Structure 1
Amino acid sequence: MSNRVVITGLGVVSPNGVGIPAFRTAIQQGVSGIRFEEQLAALNFSCQIAGKPEVSQEILTAYFNELELKQLTSSGIIYGIIAGLEAWQDAGLSIGDENGDPDWDSGTIFGTGTSGVEKFRESVYKVDEGQVRRLGSSVVPQTMASGVSAYLAGKLGLGNQVTTNSSACTTGAESLLLAYERIKNGQAVRMLAGATSDSSPYIWGGFDALKVCTYKFNATPEKGSRPLSASASGIVPGSGAGALLLESLEAALERGANIYAEVLGGNINAGGQRNGGTMTAPNSKAVQHCITAALANAGVNGADIDLVNGHLTATGKDAEEVMNWSKALGVEGERFPYLNALKSMTGHCLSASGSIELVASALQIKEGFIFPNINCEDLHPEVTALVDPQRIPRTLLHKSINLLAKASFGFGDVNACVILKKYLQS
């Protein structure tokens, strides 16, 4: 069995917009969600800016009951539930009877890098103080890696595979490809794919210590994340969640669902931390192999890709990534596809980045636009040596996109590339 797979629902909790309407407006207008964080300054961080979603009380009460709001303190789980439920509702799906059977045809692969760091810290102090009996009943579900997928399964009554993947910054793209394979092979009718990341200095601190974060824009936060720029000086840490409802084309057509895009295929690989690849740096040969294998799996040619939504983190590796795309696609100059980098507006949302960027990718395909790249008025000369600057738009373009390639690369020298196609509904 080989089912065609489409995206029928989207949900997002992003630093520059919570919910699809707000997020769409923000990316089209080039609005940054990066702000100065007083907590980071008080903790003596070098980088005192971050991309942190602003979730209103109105949104919280729309998705959680009073008891849940009292118990849940894990920001990653909260973000993931909001994004996941929005995607489910956006797909036009209803939640089954709480007293009925599970939905055997539906499942979720919802990833995370860490879970409930703040809750874990709170619990450690209580245990150290001999207050283990005061931990409460929600510690385990909020700190286990699979907490986000478990909570979503309970909210939606999912009866198919329910699991959490974790592959650093590749997590979101990987979750979509794993869900895609399950539907393609006939093991599920629909899967909720996504990823989330906590907002916490206890996560961001490690990156600050690695000296991969910028410290030059604390007074001008919205200018801090500068992918493709000659003046890029490091990542801006971020957080949030993205979710995509994947469904067999047959099931989507049968119920008259709105289709954002078709998933043609992709590839997941690793560089083995060889040939320049390390725990924190990519092996270029492996990145190129991931992209070429994704193209082959999807049955398309590199020269036919209209838009690349890159990983592009605002570090010295951006030019190397562009070089890898150029070699893998077999194009350069005016033949290079349009290129955009969402992290210029959101910062690097770590394990959630791929899913948030895939939501942006699906919106661009469905609605025929290319969002602007901000903070790259001074394009890096190694980038412009391979890409016509006109292919890196600084203003919103209204343009039909047929094929889009989205890749994510993560610590551990791991890679994932997804190929999406415009679906023409008759």
Structure 2
Amino acid sequence: MKNRVVITGLGVVAPNGVGVPDFTKALKEGKSGITCHDNLKDFKFSCQIGGIPQISEEKKSQYFTDLQLRGFNSSGILYGCIAGIDAWKDAGFDMDSESQLDYDTGLIFGAATSGVEKFREAIYGVDDGNVRRLGSTVVLQTMTSGVSAYLSGMLGLGNQVTTNSSACTTGTEALLMGYERIQNGKAKRMLVGSCSDHGPYIWGGFDAMRVMTYKHNESPEEGSRPMSATASGFVPGSGAGALLLESLECALERGANIYAEVLGGEVNSGGQRQGGTLTAPNAEAVKRCIKKAIENSGITAKEIEVINGHLTATAKDALEIENWTNALNRSGNDFPFINSTKSMIGHCLAASGSIESVASIIQLREQFVAPNINCEDLHPEIEALVDSNKIPTEKTDFNFDIIAKASFGFGDVNACVIFKKFSD
């Protein structure tokens, strides 16, 4: 018999809010976290705006020791550790460096890159003949699994500890990997999530590809425009999201607060066939991913009431909506409410799936649909498929039980997870 899996802790570091209370407030108010960045202008970027979480030195000292912070400049690992520790504490657990090793709890925390600024320092250090001055944490800060190495040591986790990496699908994939481990009885708890660095050395390649907007450098909060007729490319973002997954039996046993239940999901690839490429989705694989997620969750397409989409503010938004309508066999006013958290935080790359999963759980828990800001001019191809009232531009109070979250990433990889309001 498969274990039921629930969510008992949340943590988030987002451009428009650090911590669940601030992030929740930002979601309800439709607050953007996109700002201008002079260093992007100095590097002659076309897109000079982005979403970067605001973390003070005082905030850092609440999570890291002075020794850990010495020579530390990996923003992705910083964000991931803050979000992960917040989720851990939110679930009712303490962080104690002297605690017993916990073999029942594991960690799957994704990343695309890690410590690029630190890696740059290392390159210059080697080139200048100062290799002995690089410091003892260079490897830990620059390896992709640095975030899981830091977090597992801070929390004393003894089950599977790993970092996954699947471009924009990373966070949603990590969640489903942790879910399956608990479902199959290999762990009682799994801390899951993902993180992403920020800065010109992360975002430069996307600017070179011309997939980021260049039209809103003077009006940053208007730059991220998923599903809009005037969308002109995505706005880069960074941050982290984390969720503490737990078997229902374990959660009930200790009287834990339960945010929601994970019903199931699906991960697949389009194989860069049938129109799919390194940067474009295979529509048939996307639809199959959605349909299998529904099937694996034991529900019907009619039961999905809200969707938190991938929706990046590129030319592929209309195709994503078309794929949803075909996969669900629902359109017009019969289509679920749908939103894109990216309208407020930009595209947080590897962190997007986990931050948006946290946003999905918050909406489910507090019974509202967050607004799609900058979408007053709905794309005509989308409007032809879905009634505009299903794409709200203001916070909408709504009593619902099931929300779907999907991510579709570079490399033609897909993931979809189904969350349900908890009921024993």
User: One fold, TM greater than 0.5?
Assistant: yes
Give 3-state SS (helix, strand or coil) of 1:188's partner. coil
What residue in structure 1 maps to residue 19 of structure 2? 19
List structure 1 segments (4+ residues) > 3 angstroms apart after TM superposition: 98-101
Deviation at 1:48, TM superposition (A): 0.2
How big is the shift at 1:391? 0.6
Question: Which residue does the alignment assign to 2:390?
Answer: 391
Distance 1:296 1:317 in 2: 25
Match of 1:299 in 2: 298
Matches within 5 A, 1:246-395: 246-395=245-394
Structure 1 length-normalised TM: 0.98
Would the aligned equivalents of 1:81 and 1:148 in 2 still touch at CA under 8 Å?
A: yes
- Within 1, Cα distance between the matches of 2:368 and 2:56? 28
- Give the distance between the partners of 2:232 and 2:287, measured in 1 at CA: 25
What is the alpha-carbon root mean square deviation over aligned residues?
A: 0.9
1:400 paired with 2:405, answer no
Q: Name the SS for the 2:167 alignment partner.
A: coil
Distance (Å, rounded) in 2 between the aligned partners of 1:193 and 1:71: 27
* Contact 1:77–1:148 (CA under 8 A) maintained in structure 2: yes
Tell me the equivalent position of 1:49: 49
Identify the residue that residue 37 of structure 1 maps to in structure 2. 37
Q: 1:230 offset after TM fit, Å? A: 0.3
Report the TM-score, using the length of structure 2 for normalisation.
Answer: 0.99
Shift of 1:400: 1.6
Shift of 1:411: 0.5
| Structure 2 unaligned regions, length at least 5 | none
- Partner Cα distance (2:186, 2:59) in 1: 34
> Does 2:86 align with 1:86?
yes
Residue of structure 2 equivalent to 1:146: 145
Identity %: 64
Deviations 1:95-150 (A, max 9, x none): 35x44531000010000000010000000011111111111100000011111001
1:64 aligns with 2:43: no
- Aligned-partner Cα distance in 2 for 1:330–1:58: 51
Structure 1 residue 351: Cα displacement: 0.2
Determine if contact 1:229/1:314 at 8 Å carries over to the other structure.
yes
Give the match for residue 212 of structure 1: 211
Deviations 1:347-374 (A, max 9, x none): 0000000000000001111111111110
- Greater mean deviation of Cα atoms: 58-67 or 274-283: 58-67
Query: For this pair of structures, how many residues does the alignment match?
Result: 424
Mapped to 1, the partners of 2:312 and 2:34 lie a distance apart of 14
* Alpha-carbon shift at residue 262 of structure 1 (Å): 0.3
Q: Confirm or deny that 1:203 pairs with 2:229.
A: no
